[in-house]
Amino acid sequence: MKVGIIGGGHNSLVLAGYLAKEGVDITVYEARDRVGGLCVNEEVFPGHTISTVATYYGMFRRQIIEDLRLDVHGLEPYLTDPAEIVLLPNGGYSFTPRDGSDTKISAGELTEEDLAGWKNFWGEIGRGAALVAPFYYKPETTQQELVDVLRKDGLDFLASKLFDGTLFEVFDHFCKNQSLKAAVATCTPGYASNQGSVFGCMHHGTAETCGVPGAWGLVRGGMGMVSESLRRSAESKGVRVLTNTKVTAIRVENGRATGLKLENGETVACDLVVSGADPKTTFSRLLSDTELPAALVKQVEEPLTQISAGKIHFKLKRLPKFPTLDQLSHNYSGIIVVAPPADEVIADSKRVAEGKMPQSLMMTMAFPTVTDETVAPAGEHHMNIDVHQLPRTNEGEPWNDETKTKISDAVIAALKPFAPDIAEVIEDTFVVSPTDIQSRYNVGTGMCWHLPMTDRYAFDKRNMSGCEPYGTPIENLYLCGAGTYGGGNVTGVSGFNCAKILQDQTMRVRA
Protein backbone atom coordinates (compact mmCIF):
# COMPACT_ATOMS: atom_id res chain seq x y z
CA MET A 1 0.00 0.00 0.00
CA LYS A 2 1.28 3.48 -0.95
CA VAL A 3 0.85 6.44 1.42
CA GLY A 4 1.69 9.99 0.28
CA ILE A 5 2.20 12.58 3.05
CA ILE A 6 2.09 16.25 2.06
CA GLY A 7 4.63 18.37 3.96
CA GLY A 8 7.53 17.44 6.19
CA GLY A 9 6.49 19.40 9.31
CA HIS A 10 7.05 17.67 12.65
CA ASN A 11 3.45 16.35 12.75
CA SER A 12 3.82 14.69 9.32
CA LEU A 13 7.07 13.10 10.46
CA VAL A 14 5.48 11.79 13.66
CA LEU A 15 2.73 10.25 11.53
CA ALA A 16 5.26 8.71 9.12
CA GLY A 17 7.26 7.23 12.02
CA TYR A 18 4.21 5.52 13.52
CA LEU A 19 2.75 4.28 10.21
CA ALA A 20 6.01 2.83 8.92
CA LYS A 21 5.85 -0.92 8.85
CA GLU A 22 6.44 -3.72 6.43
CA GLY A 23 4.17 -3.56 3.42
CA VAL A 24 3.39 0.16 3.77
CA ASP A 25 5.29 2.31 1.28
CA ILE A 26 5.43 5.87 2.70
CA THR A 27 6.75 8.98 0.98
CA VAL A 28 6.84 12.45 2.55
CA TYR A 29 6.78 15.32 0.02
CA GLU A 30 8.21 18.56 1.44
CA ALA A 31 8.21 21.79 -0.58
CA ARG A 32 11.23 23.36 1.17
CA ASP A 33 14.86 22.26 1.02
CA ARG A 34 14.59 20.78 4.52
CA VAL A 35 12.03 19.16 6.79
CA GLY A 36 10.58 20.77 9.91
CA GLY A 37 8.15 23.44 8.68
CA LEU A 38 7.87 25.87 11.62
CA CYS A 39 10.08 23.63 13.78
CA VAL A 40 13.30 24.07 11.84
CA ASN A 41 16.98 25.04 12.00
CA GLU A 42 18.43 27.42 9.42
CA GLU A 43 21.88 28.93 9.03
CA VAL A 44 20.78 32.53 8.52
CA PHE A 45 24.12 33.83 9.89
CA PRO A 46 27.28 31.99 8.73
CA GLY A 47 28.23 29.21 11.16
CA HIS A 48 25.14 29.80 13.37
CA THR A 49 22.37 27.22 13.73
CA ILE A 50 19.22 29.25 14.34
CA SER A 51 15.81 27.91 15.40
CA THR A 52 14.24 30.41 13.04
CA VAL A 53 10.60 29.94 14.09
CA ALA A 54 9.88 27.69 17.11
CA THR A 55 12.64 27.93 19.75
CA TYR A 56 11.19 26.78 23.07
CA TYR A 57 10.72 23.10 23.81
CA GLY A 58 8.12 21.76 26.23
CA MET A 59 4.97 20.63 24.50
CA PHE A 60 6.41 17.65 22.59
CA ARG A 61 4.88 14.51 24.06
CA ARG A 62 7.27 12.15 25.88
CA GLN A 63 5.58 9.01 24.57
CA ILE A 64 6.56 9.95 21.01
CA ILE A 65 10.23 10.30 22.01
CA GLU A 66 10.11 6.87 23.60
CA ASP A 67 8.12 5.09 20.88
CA LEU A 68 10.20 6.49 17.99
CA ARG A 69 13.54 6.30 19.90
CA LEU A 70 14.25 9.95 19.13
CA ASP A 71 17.08 10.08 21.69
CA VAL A 72 18.96 7.54 19.56
CA HIS A 73 18.29 9.73 16.52
CA GLY A 74 19.80 12.87 18.07
CA LEU A 75 17.05 14.58 20.11
CA GLU A 76 18.46 16.10 23.31
CA PRO A 77 16.14 18.55 25.10
CA TYR A 78 17.60 20.28 28.16
CA LEU A 79 16.50 22.46 31.05
CA THR A 80 18.23 25.76 31.55
CA ASP A 81 19.17 27.07 34.98
CA PRO A 82 17.46 29.45 35.78
CA ALA A 83 14.18 28.62 34.09
CA GLU A 84 12.69 32.03 33.33
CA ILE A 85 12.64 35.69 34.21
CA VAL A 86 9.78 38.05 33.32
CA LEU A 87 10.84 41.70 33.20
CA LEU A 88 7.89 43.73 34.47
CA PRO A 89 6.83 47.23 33.36
CA ASN A 90 7.73 48.96 36.65
CA GLY A 91 11.35 47.75 36.59
CA GLY A 92 10.45 44.70 38.67
CA TYR A 93 10.69 41.05 37.77
CA SER A 94 9.35 37.59 38.41
CA PHE A 95 12.35 35.27 38.51
CA THR A 96 11.98 31.48 38.48
CA PRO A 97 15.09 29.54 39.47
CA ARG A 98 15.41 25.89 38.46
CA ASP A 99 16.19 24.57 41.93
CA GLY A 100 12.52 24.23 42.81
CA SER A 101 12.57 27.22 45.17
CA ASP A 102 9.77 29.75 44.93
CA THR A 103 9.61 32.38 42.20
CA LYS A 104 11.29 35.59 43.42
CA ILE A 105 9.09 38.59 42.74
CA SER A 106 9.89 42.27 42.79
CA ALA A 107 6.78 44.15 41.75
CA GLY A 108 6.40 47.43 43.58
CA GLU A 109 4.04 47.20 46.51
CA LEU A 110 3.37 43.53 46.89
CA THR A 111 1.05 42.37 49.67
CA GLU A 112 0.79 38.93 51.28
CA GLU A 113 -2.64 38.77 49.70
CA ASP A 114 -1.16 39.39 46.22
CA LEU A 115 1.35 36.61 46.70
CA ALA A 116 -1.26 34.17 47.94
CA GLY A 117 -3.52 35.07 45.00
CA TRP A 118 -0.67 34.61 42.53
CA LYS A 119 0.07 31.14 43.97
CA ASN A 120 -3.58 30.13 43.90
CA PHE A 121 -3.95 31.31 40.32
CA TRP A 122 -0.98 29.22 39.13
CA GLY A 123 -2.06 26.31 41.32
CA GLU A 124 -5.44 26.19 39.56
CA ILE A 125 -3.96 26.61 36.06
CA GLY A 126 -1.50 23.76 36.80
CA ARG A 127 -4.24 21.48 38.14
CA GLY A 128 -6.45 22.34 35.17
CA ALA A 129 -3.67 21.60 32.68
CA ALA A 130 -2.97 18.22 34.32
CA LEU A 131 -6.69 17.33 34.11
CA VAL A 132 -7.04 18.41 30.49
CA ALA A 133 -3.77 16.85 29.20
CA PRO A 134 -5.05 13.25 28.74
CA PHE A 135 -7.92 14.50 26.57
CA TYR A 136 -5.50 15.57 23.82
CA TYR A 137 -5.46 11.87 22.91
CA LYS A 138 -9.26 11.54 22.80
CA PRO A 139 -10.32 13.38 19.65
CA GLU A 140 -14.02 12.88 20.33
CA THR A 141 -13.86 15.18 23.41
CA THR A 142 -16.11 18.24 23.40
CA GLN A 143 -15.38 21.58 25.06
CA GLN A 144 -18.32 20.96 27.43
CA GLU A 145 -16.78 17.68 28.60
CA LEU A 146 -13.59 19.50 29.57
CA VAL A 147 -15.54 22.16 31.42
CA ASP A 148 -17.29 19.34 33.33
CA VAL A 149 -13.95 17.67 34.14
CA LEU A 150 -12.68 20.89 35.74
CA ARG A 151 -15.93 21.40 37.64
CA LYS A 152 -15.87 17.87 39.02
CA ASP A 153 -12.44 18.63 40.48
CA GLY A 154 -13.68 21.80 42.19
CA LEU A 155 -12.19 24.25 39.67
CA ASP A 156 -15.55 25.95 39.18
CA PHE A 157 -14.44 29.48 38.36
CA LEU A 158 -11.74 28.30 35.96
CA ALA A 159 -14.27 25.96 34.34
CA SER A 160 -16.76 28.80 33.85
CA LYS A 161 -14.11 30.85 32.01
CA LEU A 162 -12.22 28.07 30.17
CA PHE A 163 -13.80 28.79 26.77
CA ASP A 164 -16.17 31.63 27.68
CA GLY A 165 -13.92 34.09 29.49
CA THR A 166 -10.51 35.73 29.45
CA LEU A 167 -7.27 35.03 31.29
CA PHE A 168 -7.41 38.51 32.80
CA GLU A 169 -10.84 37.74 34.30
CA VAL A 170 -9.46 34.59 35.92
CA PHE A 171 -6.40 36.46 37.20
CA ASP A 172 -8.55 39.30 38.64
CA HIS A 173 -10.56 36.68 40.54
CA PHE A 174 -7.41 35.63 42.42
CA CYS A 175 -5.10 38.66 42.56
CA LYS A 176 -5.25 42.44 42.28
CA ASN A 177 -1.56 43.22 41.59
CA GLN A 178 -1.26 44.94 38.20
CA SER A 179 2.43 44.06 37.68
CA LEU A 180 1.74 40.38 38.17
CA LYS A 181 -1.21 40.73 35.82
CA ALA A 182 1.25 41.96 33.18
CA ALA A 183 3.37 38.82 33.74
CA VAL A 184 0.33 36.57 33.31
CA ALA A 185 -0.52 38.23 29.99
CA THR A 186 2.64 36.68 28.49
CA CYS A 187 1.51 33.13 29.28
CA THR A 188 -1.11 32.62 26.58
CA PRO A 189 -0.70 32.48 22.80
CA GLY A 190 -3.14 35.33 22.12
CA TYR A 191 -4.08 38.45 24.09
CA ALA A 192 -5.00 37.73 27.73
CA SER A 193 -7.93 40.14 27.40
CA ASN A 194 -9.46 38.11 24.57
CA GLN A 195 -11.88 35.21 24.80
CA GLY A 196 -10.12 31.86 24.51
CA SER A 197 -7.01 33.02 26.37
CA VAL A 198 -7.73 30.81 29.41
CA PHE A 199 -7.58 27.68 27.28
CA GLY A 200 -4.41 29.03 25.58
CA CYS A 201 -2.69 29.36 28.96
CA MET A 202 -3.71 25.84 30.02
CA HIS A 203 -2.53 24.49 26.65
CA HIS A 204 0.94 25.85 27.42
CA GLY A 205 0.56 24.43 30.93
CA THR A 206 0.60 20.89 29.51
CA ALA A 207 4.34 21.30 28.84
CA GLU A 208 6.88 18.87 30.23
CA THR A 209 10.64 18.84 29.64
CA CYS A 210 13.05 16.12 30.78
CA GLY A 211 10.30 14.63 32.98
CA VAL A 212 9.54 17.93 34.79
CA PRO A 213 5.81 18.78 34.50
CA GLY A 214 5.08 22.33 33.35
CA ALA A 215 8.75 22.96 32.41
CA TRP A 216 10.01 24.52 29.19
CA GLY A 217 13.56 24.20 27.90
CA LEU A 218 15.69 24.24 24.78
CA VAL A 219 17.03 21.57 22.42
CA ARG A 220 20.73 20.96 21.96
CA GLY A 221 21.55 21.76 18.34
CA GLY A 222 18.40 23.88 17.95
CA MET A 223 14.67 23.17 17.90
CA GLY A 224 15.00 21.84 14.34
CA MET A 225 16.57 18.75 15.91
CA VAL A 226 13.04 17.65 16.90
CA SER A 227 12.16 17.42 13.21
CA GLU A 228 15.57 16.10 12.18
CA SER A 229 15.44 13.26 14.73
CA LEU A 230 11.90 12.42 13.54
CA ARG A 231 13.14 12.32 9.93
CA ARG A 232 16.03 10.03 10.87
CA SER A 233 13.72 7.75 12.85
CA ALA A 234 11.21 7.50 9.98
CA GLU A 235 13.95 6.93 7.37
CA SER A 236 15.46 4.16 9.51
CA LYS A 237 12.14 2.34 9.07
CA GLY A 238 12.10 2.78 5.31
CA VAL A 239 10.11 6.03 4.91
CA ARG A 240 11.23 8.13 1.89
CA VAL A 241 11.50 11.86 2.60
CA LEU A 242 11.73 14.03 -0.52
CA THR A 243 12.62 17.70 0.01
CA ASN A 244 12.34 20.39 -2.72
CA THR A 245 9.21 18.49 -3.82
CA LYS A 246 6.13 20.68 -3.74
CA VAL A 247 2.68 19.13 -4.14
CA THR A 248 0.48 21.23 -6.44
CA ALA A 249 -2.74 19.20 -6.29
CA ILE A 250 -4.40 16.19 -4.69
CA ARG A 251 -5.85 13.94 -7.38
CA VAL A 252 -9.45 12.93 -6.67
CA GLU A 253 -11.48 10.41 -8.67
CA ASN A 254 -15.09 9.48 -7.83
CA GLY A 255 -14.83 11.16 -4.42
CA ARG A 256 -11.62 9.30 -3.50
CA ALA A 257 -8.07 10.61 -3.21
CA THR A 258 -5.94 8.62 -5.65
CA GLY A 259 -2.65 10.48 -5.82
CA LEU A 260 -0.65 13.68 -5.94
CA LYS A 261 0.48 16.08 -8.62
CA LEU A 262 3.94 17.50 -8.04
CA GLU A 263 5.41 20.82 -9.13
CA ASN A 264 8.03 18.96 -11.20
CA GLY A 265 5.19 17.67 -13.44
CA GLU A 266 5.13 14.15 -12.02
CA THR A 267 1.93 12.46 -10.89
CA VAL A 268 2.16 9.79 -8.21
CA ALA A 269 -0.51 7.23 -7.39
CA CYS A 270 -1.38 6.78 -3.68
CA ASP A 271 -3.84 4.55 -1.83
CA LEU A 272 -3.94 7.01 1.06
CA VAL A 273 -3.09 10.74 1.12
CA VAL A 274 -2.44 12.66 4.35
CA SER A 275 -1.91 16.40 4.42
CA GLY A 276 0.26 17.98 7.10
CA ALA A 277 -0.35 21.40 5.51
CA ASP A 278 -2.83 23.87 7.03
CA PRO A 279 -6.55 23.65 6.13
CA LYS A 280 -6.44 26.60 3.70
CA THR A 281 -3.56 25.08 1.72
CA THR A 282 -5.18 21.64 1.68
CA PHE A 283 -8.76 22.57 0.86
CA SER A 284 -8.53 25.73 -1.19
CA ARG A 285 -5.19 25.26 -3.01
CA LEU A 286 -4.55 21.53 -3.36
CA LEU A 287 -8.22 20.65 -3.92
CA SER A 288 -9.16 23.67 -6.05
CA ASP A 289 -10.48 21.38 -8.83
CA THR A 290 -12.60 19.30 -6.46
CA GLU A 291 -16.13 20.02 -5.40
CA LEU A 292 -16.31 20.32 -1.61
CA PRO A 293 -19.34 20.84 0.68
CA ALA A 294 -20.35 24.52 0.70
CA ALA A 295 -20.17 24.83 4.50
CA LEU A 296 -16.56 23.61 4.48
CA VAL A 297 -15.56 25.99 1.66
CA LYS A 298 -17.18 28.87 3.56
CA GLN A 299 -15.30 27.99 6.75
CA VAL A 300 -11.96 27.69 4.94
CA GLU A 301 -12.46 31.08 3.28
CA GLU A 302 -13.56 32.81 6.52
CA PRO A 303 -11.11 35.60 7.37
CA LEU A 304 -9.07 34.70 10.45
CA THR A 305 -7.84 37.17 13.03
CA GLN A 306 -5.55 40.04 12.00
CA ILE A 307 -3.30 39.14 14.96
CA SER A 308 -0.21 37.20 13.96
CA ALA A 309 3.33 36.97 15.39
CA GLY A 310 6.94 37.33 14.32
CA LYS A 311 10.47 36.37 15.16
CA ILE A 312 13.67 38.40 15.15
CA HIS A 313 17.18 36.99 15.34
CA PHE A 314 20.20 39.14 16.13
CA LYS A 315 23.78 38.05 15.56
CA LEU A 316 25.65 39.75 18.38
CA LYS A 317 29.11 41.30 18.72
CA ARG A 318 28.80 40.41 22.40
CA LEU A 319 25.96 39.77 24.85
CA PRO A 320 23.96 42.93 25.67
CA LYS A 321 23.85 44.06 29.31
CA PHE A 322 20.54 43.77 31.11
CA PRO A 323 21.07 45.61 34.45
CA THR A 324 18.20 43.70 36.10
CA LEU A 325 19.77 40.36 35.16
CA ASP A 326 23.18 41.50 36.41
CA GLN A 327 21.70 42.58 39.77
CA LEU A 328 20.44 39.02 40.20
CA SER A 329 23.72 37.42 39.04
CA HIS A 330 21.63 35.93 36.24
CA ASN A 331 23.72 34.00 33.69
CA TYR A 332 21.61 34.96 30.62
CA SER A 333 20.43 31.37 30.11
CA GLY A 334 16.79 30.33 30.06
CA ILE A 335 13.78 32.26 28.87
CA ILE A 336 13.64 36.04 29.26
CA VAL A 337 10.27 37.71 28.81
CA VAL A 338 9.35 41.38 28.44
CA ALA A 339 5.82 42.09 29.76
CA PRO A 340 4.00 45.33 28.82
CA PRO A 341 1.57 46.86 31.36
CA ALA A 342 -1.83 45.13 31.50
CA ASP A 343 -3.75 48.24 30.34
CA GLU A 344 -1.50 48.53 27.27
CA VAL A 345 -2.11 44.83 26.53
CA ILE A 346 -5.84 45.59 26.44
CA ALA A 347 -5.36 48.64 24.18
CA ASP A 348 -3.01 46.73 21.85
CA SER A 349 -5.40 43.79 21.55
CA LYS A 350 -7.76 46.24 19.81
CA ARG A 351 -5.07 48.02 17.76
CA VAL A 352 -3.50 44.85 16.38
CA ALA A 353 -6.92 43.33 15.61
CA GLU A 354 -7.44 46.43 13.41
CA GLY A 355 -4.17 45.71 11.60
CA LYS A 356 -2.05 48.32 13.43
CA MET A 357 1.36 47.82 15.07
CA PRO A 358 1.18 47.29 18.85
CA GLN A 359 2.36 50.22 20.94
CA SER A 360 4.08 47.97 23.50
CA LEU A 361 5.78 44.81 22.31
CA MET A 362 5.39 41.61 24.30
CA MET A 363 8.53 39.56 23.74
CA THR A 364 10.08 36.25 24.75
CA MET A 365 13.78 35.78 24.11
CA ALA A 366 16.70 33.44 24.63
CA PHE A 367 20.46 33.32 24.10
CA PRO A 368 20.91 29.62 23.15
CA THR A 369 24.63 30.22 22.51
CA VAL A 370 25.13 30.65 26.29
CA THR A 371 24.14 27.04 27.00
CA ASP A 372 24.82 25.21 23.73
CA GLU A 373 28.26 25.43 22.13
CA THR A 374 27.04 23.55 19.04
CA VAL A 375 24.87 26.40 17.69
CA ALA A 376 27.59 29.00 16.97
CA PRO A 377 31.36 29.25 16.47
CA ALA A 378 33.26 29.47 19.78
CA GLY A 379 32.77 32.83 21.51
CA GLU A 380 30.02 34.02 19.13
CA HIS A 381 26.45 34.72 20.23
CA HIS A 382 22.98 35.21 18.82
CA MET A 383 19.62 35.97 20.38
CA ASN A 384 16.16 34.76 19.31
CA ILE A 385 13.19 37.04 20.03
CA ASP A 386 9.51 36.15 19.66
CA VAL A 387 7.22 39.13 19.20
CA HIS A 388 3.98 37.65 20.50
CA GLN A 389 1.59 39.85 18.53
CA LEU A 390 2.01 41.64 15.21
CA PRO A 391 -0.48 42.65 12.51
CA ARG A 392 -0.66 40.11 9.67
CA THR A 393 0.05 42.85 7.15
CA ASN A 394 1.86 46.16 7.11
CA GLU A 395 -1.04 48.59 6.69
CA GLY A 396 -2.84 46.18 4.37
CA GLU A 397 0.25 45.23 2.32
CA PRO A 398 2.37 42.08 2.74
CA TRP A 399 5.48 42.65 4.85
CA ASN A 400 8.61 42.90 2.66
CA ASP A 401 12.36 43.27 3.22
CA GLU A 402 12.03 47.04 3.46
CA THR A 403 9.01 47.21 5.79
CA LYS A 404 10.37 44.42 8.01
CA THR A 405 12.85 46.95 9.42
CA LYS A 406 9.81 48.54 11.09
CA ILE A 407 9.56 45.31 13.14
CA SER A 408 13.26 45.10 14.02
CA ASP A 409 13.38 48.83 14.87
CA ALA A 410 10.36 48.43 17.16
CA VAL A 411 12.05 45.47 18.88
CA ILE A 412 15.26 47.43 19.48
CA ALA A 413 13.28 50.39 20.86
CA ALA A 414 11.25 48.12 23.15
CA LEU A 415 14.38 46.36 24.45
CA LYS A 416 16.34 49.55 25.14
CA PRO A 417 14.80 50.27 28.58
CA PHE A 418 15.82 46.76 29.67
CA ALA A 419 19.18 46.52 27.82
CA PRO A 420 20.43 50.07 27.13
CA ASP A 421 23.31 48.89 24.88
CA ILE A 422 21.18 46.63 22.67
CA ALA A 423 21.62 48.67 19.47
CA GLU A 424 25.44 48.71 19.85
CA VAL A 425 25.81 44.93 20.12
CA ILE A 426 23.81 43.93 17.02
CA GLU A 427 25.95 42.76 14.10
CA ASP A 428 23.27 41.29 11.83
CA THR A 429 19.48 40.87 11.82
CA PHE A 430 17.06 38.28 10.42
CA VAL A 431 13.31 38.89 10.65
CA VAL A 432 10.51 36.34 10.22
CA SER A 433 7.44 38.48 9.53
CA PRO A 434 3.81 37.34 9.52
CA THR A 435 4.04 37.33 5.70
CA ASP A 436 7.08 35.01 5.89
CA ILE A 437 5.00 32.48 7.84
CA GLN A 438 2.91 32.21 4.67
CA SER A 439 5.48 32.66 1.92
CA ARG A 440 8.71 31.18 3.36
CA TYR A 441 7.16 28.45 5.56
CA ASN A 442 4.12 27.65 3.35
CA VAL A 443 1.39 28.13 5.98
CA GLY A 444 -1.57 29.31 3.86
CA THR A 445 -3.52 30.63 6.86
CA GLY A 446 -0.43 32.56 8.06
CA MET A 447 -1.12 31.37 11.62
CA CYS A 448 1.55 30.01 14.02
CA TRP A 449 -0.79 27.13 14.88
CA HIS A 450 -2.41 26.80 11.38
CA LEU A 451 -5.68 27.91 13.05
CA PRO A 452 -6.12 30.20 16.08
CA MET A 453 -5.82 28.58 19.54
CA THR A 454 -9.03 30.16 20.80
CA ASP A 455 -12.43 28.85 21.91
CA ARG A 456 -13.62 28.95 18.29
CA TYR A 457 -11.04 26.36 17.26
CA ALA A 458 -10.36 24.34 20.43
CA PHE A 459 -10.91 20.60 20.84
CA ASP A 460 -14.06 19.40 18.96
CA LYS A 461 -14.42 22.83 17.31
CA ARG A 462 -11.05 22.33 15.57
CA ASN A 463 -12.60 19.72 13.26
CA MET A 464 -13.47 21.50 10.00
CA SER A 465 -17.13 21.66 9.04
CA GLY A 466 -18.48 18.19 8.25
CA CYS A 467 -15.12 16.49 8.95
CA GLU A 468 -14.46 13.69 11.43
CA PRO A 469 -11.29 14.21 13.51
CA TYR A 470 -8.35 14.02 11.02
CA GLY A 471 -10.80 13.16 8.22
CA THR A 472 -12.10 15.06 5.19
CA PRO A 473 -15.16 14.67 2.95
CA ILE A 474 -12.83 12.96 0.43
CA GLU A 475 -12.40 9.23 0.96
CA ASN A 476 -8.80 8.21 1.72
CA LEU A 477 -7.73 11.82 2.35
CA TYR A 478 -6.73 12.73 5.93
CA LEU A 479 -5.20 15.67 7.80
CA CYS A 480 -2.40 15.57 10.40
CA GLY A 481 -1.18 19.18 10.81
CA ALA A 482 -1.56 21.66 13.67
CA GLY A 483 -4.96 22.75 12.25
CA THR A 484 -6.45 19.48 13.53
CA TYR A 485 -7.51 18.34 17.02
CA GLY A 486 -4.67 18.81 19.48
CA GLY A 487 -3.76 22.10 17.88
CA GLY A 488 -0.62 24.18 17.56
CA ASN A 489 2.87 24.13 19.04
CA VAL A 490 5.46 21.42 18.67
CA THR A 491 3.42 18.73 20.43
CA GLY A 492 3.33 15.93 17.84
CA VAL A 493 -0.22 15.21 19.06
CA SER A 494 -1.93 15.67 15.68
CA GLY A 495 0.50 13.31 13.93
CA PHE A 496 0.20 10.80 16.79
CA ASN A 497 -3.63 10.74 16.86
CA CYS A 498 -3.91 10.63 13.07
CA ALA A 499 -1.53 7.65 13.03
CA LYS A 500 -3.74 5.80 15.53
CA ILE A 501 -6.74 6.23 13.21
CA LEU A 502 -4.78 5.31 10.09
CA GLN A 503 -3.12 2.27 11.63
CA ASP A 504 -6.57 0.65 11.44
CA GLN A 505 -7.28 2.23 8.08
CA THR A 506 -4.09 0.88 6.49
CA MET A 507 -5.50 -2.59 7.17
CA ARG A 508 -8.83 -1.78 5.55
CA VAL A 509 -8.07 0.70 2.78
CA ARG A 510 -9.24 -0.37 -0.64
CA ALA A 511 -6.45 -0.48 -3.19
Q: How far is the CB of 349 from ligand FAD (least distance, A)?
A: 18
Q: Are strands 84-87 and 335-338 parallel, antiparallel or unpaired?
A: parallel
Q: Is 283 in the site for ligand FAD (CB under 6 A)?
A: no
User: How many whole angstroms separate alpha carbon 34 and alpha carbon 10?
Assistant: 12
Among 3, 5, 7, 363, binds ligand FAD (CB under 6 A): 7
Q: Is 224 in the site for ligand FAD (CB under 6 A)?
A: no
Secondary element (H or E) of residue 219: strand 218-219
Q: Is 241 in the site for ligand FAD (CB under 6 A)?
A: no
What does residue 50 show for φ and ψ, rounded to 5 degrees?
Answer: -115, 130
Secondary element (H or E) of residue 404: helix 404-415
Binding mask 430-469 toward ligand FAD (x if CB under 6 A, else -) reads -------x---xxx----xx--------------------
Among 3, 24, 54, 149, binds ligand FAD (CB under 6 A): 54
**Which amino acid is located at 466 in the chain?**
G
Among 15, 24, 29, 199, binds ligand FAD (CB under 6 A): 29
Q: Which is nearer to ligand FAD, 76 or 343 (CB)?
A: 76
**Which one-letter DSSP state was computed for residue 316?**
E
**Which one-letter DSSP state was computed for residue 358?**
P
Among 3, 4, 5, 8, binds ligand FAD (CB under 6 A): 8
| Near ligand FAD in 472-501, by CB under 6 A | 481-482, 488-490, 494
| β-bridge partners, 402 | none
List, edge to edge, every strand of the sheet that includes 256-262.
247-253, 256-262, 267-269
- CA gyration radius for the chain? 22
Q: Are strands 307-316 and 426-432 parallel, antiparallel or unpaired?
A: antiparallel
Q: Is 17 in the site for ligand FAD (CB under 6 A)?
A: no
Query: Residues 6 or more apart from 106 whose CB is under 8 A from it?
Result: 88, 92, 93
Neighbours of 395 (CB within 10 A): 10
Query: Residues 6 or more apart from 306 whose CB is under 8 A from it?
Result: 352, 353, 354, 355, 391, 392, 393
Q: How far is the CB of 28 from ligand FAD (least distance, A)?
A: 9
Q: How far is the CB of 309 from ligand FAD (least distance, A)?
A: 5
Binding mask 372-391 toward ligand FAD (x if CB under 6 A, else -) reads --------------x-----
Q: Is 250 in the site for ligand FAD (CB under 6 A)?
A: no
Q: How far is the CB of 176 from ligand FAD (least distance, A)?
A: 31
Q: Which is nearer to ligand FAD, 159 or 225 (CB)?
A: 225
What does residue 125 show for φ and ψ, rounded to 5 degrees?
Answer: -60, -45
Q: Which three-class secondary structure string do you get for 134-146?
A: HHHHCCCCCHHHH
| β-bridge partners, 198 | none
Q: How far is the CB of 14 from ligand FAD (least distance, A)?
A: 8
Q: Is 320 in the site for ligand FAD (CB under 6 A)?
A: no
Closest CA to 42 of 293, 232, 270, 313: 313
Q: Which stretch binds ligand FAD (CB under 6 A): 27-35, 132-140, 320-328, 468-476?
A: 27-35
Q: Is 205 in the site for ligand FAD (CB under 6 A)?
A: no
Q: Is 419 in the site for ligand FAD (CB under 6 A)?
A: no
By CB under 6 A, name the binding residues for ligand FAD: 6-12, 29-32, 37-39, 53-56, 59, 246-247, 276-277, 281, 309, 311, 386, 437, 441-443, 448-449, 481-482, 488-490, 494
